[in-house]
Structure 1
Amino acid sequence: MVDWKPFGTYLLRKKLQYLNISTVLCILIKNHLVLEYVVIKLSETNLIECINKIKSVLNGQTTREEVSDWAGTYVYADDPEVEDDRVWDMLILLSGIDLKDSSETYLHSTDDLNDWIKQYTE
């Protein structure tokens, strides 16, 4: 369901942090002013979708940062609508997939990512 709401003309911050809501905001911007926004309900994800996100990182089709941002929309929501505990655990892992332990290496290696796939497909 889409719900349009007037937003007025407020200055848009240059960087938006994670939105702590269970919806995604689509914002119409003109001349750095927020004119209105639409609220779109997130659909519940499943384990296969999470595993496919890991595979897309391993194949180089998606960046770790993109997957982390995607998972973060669920994890950082005020009222996450994830019923399956295994999916929730996987989303928490994926929200940190882009963490680095140095300036050039990720905290979670490709071996770790493969282990996550094995762990959640058994």
Structure 2
Amino acid sequence: MGGTFDPIHYGHLNSAEEIAEVFKMDRVIFIPAFIPPHKKKEKVTDGYHRLMMTMLATLSNPRFTVSTIEIERDGYSYTIDTVNELRNSFNKGSAKNKFYFIVGVDAFKEIFTWKDSVRLLKNCDFI
């Protein structure tokens, strides 16, 4: 589940839990964006603070994990880069893992403004 998570809230957590149940997911990985490129004009809380908030908020659910992939990238957080990196990491020697990318409808409405959006839509299932 990608997002700015500024702050993370029950809407994120409840949606992730419901989606995990419906799609029979083993886990949901929350991925806080380091620098969200679509929020250039908005003031966004420091990435490390948002990462810590996300970790604290997801701690009680064993199905939830938090990835530092975009925080460690230390630049703009482009979903296509994250999806490619996660696929390479989780599917080494195998393509058995099914990936879904969970985003809010507010973000998905803008998907055609995202980097490599057409390729992203062809290579990733969005929820």
Same fold (TM over 0.5): no
TM-score of the pair, normalised by structure 2: 0.30
Q: With CA pairs under 8 Å and 6+ residues apart, which has the higher RCO, 1 or 2?
A: 2
More strand by share: 1
